[in-house]
Amino acid sequence: MQLRYWGTLAYDGTAYQGFQRQAEGVPTIQAEVERAAATVIGQPVTVLGAGRTDAGVHASGQVIAFDADWRHGAERLLSAINAYLPDDIALFHLEAAPTPGFHPRFDARSREYRYVVLNAPVRDPLLGRRVWHLRGALDAEAMQQSAAALIGRHDFGGFGKPPQGENTIRTVLRSEWTQEPHETGFLWVYSIEADAFLQHMVRRIVGVMTMVGRRMQPVEIIPRLLHEGVMPVGLTVAPPQGLTLVKVRYSAGETPAEAITGKL
């Protein structure tokens, strides 16, 4: 009998053309996980994901679900799938889904992304696949003011296109910058949580905010873009390597890891 499983997936997206399966031979996260799961289970597997991360974008908290006819328990299935996954992809948690029809994307209440900027005169080669390196001072007050302006329900059409349909209204629950010291400067970490995201939305937001931080644009550009709802030409789009999908929340605010841990 088939059972729907859900779990938390982590990956380094550098070598992949995004999460979503594409044409045969194009490396994607979904295709790799489906290949590994099918090898273990012995039948084709369709993996559903909570977020369609772009090429080069990472995840530490992507949520997936799939159906499998497996009689040896979730722990053994988790171990077996990981044995067939490449080194840059790992399944952290796995168990029976909360409901037979659970969908990691459509049942999600919010998603949280993190973007990291290395603000330093010299690049760090050990962080090159994880950060966007920017030289020159950033205005902390202007960056925080820009981030705060995004909180609430707005038309984010100035920051991206919807993956389906025409609705560009989204609700941002959290938007803030924090700083951490680094050997050559500072790591600026941007955290944003929202009910849903548009294509390239976080990367466009970060790009605009860094322009504000470098005084290439006024702080007022954020409210203006939210008011106009149209993507302008010439604004910076942050590169993909600094972006990570860190958490997807469901009913009662639980992630798969929290739900599974609570049952142990």
Q: Are 142 and 213 in contact (CB under 8 A)?
A: yes
Distance CA 19, CA 111 (A): 15
Structure tokens belonging to residue 92: 């952290």
| DSSP character at residue 120 | S
Q: Are 9 and 29 in contact (CB under 8 A)?
A: yes
DSSP three-state, residue 88:
coil
Distance CA 127, CA 114 (A): 15
Q: Are 34 and 21 in contact (CB under 8 A)?
A: yes
Catalytic residue, from 54, 67, 87, 88: name it.
54
54 is catalytic: yes
Active site residues: 54
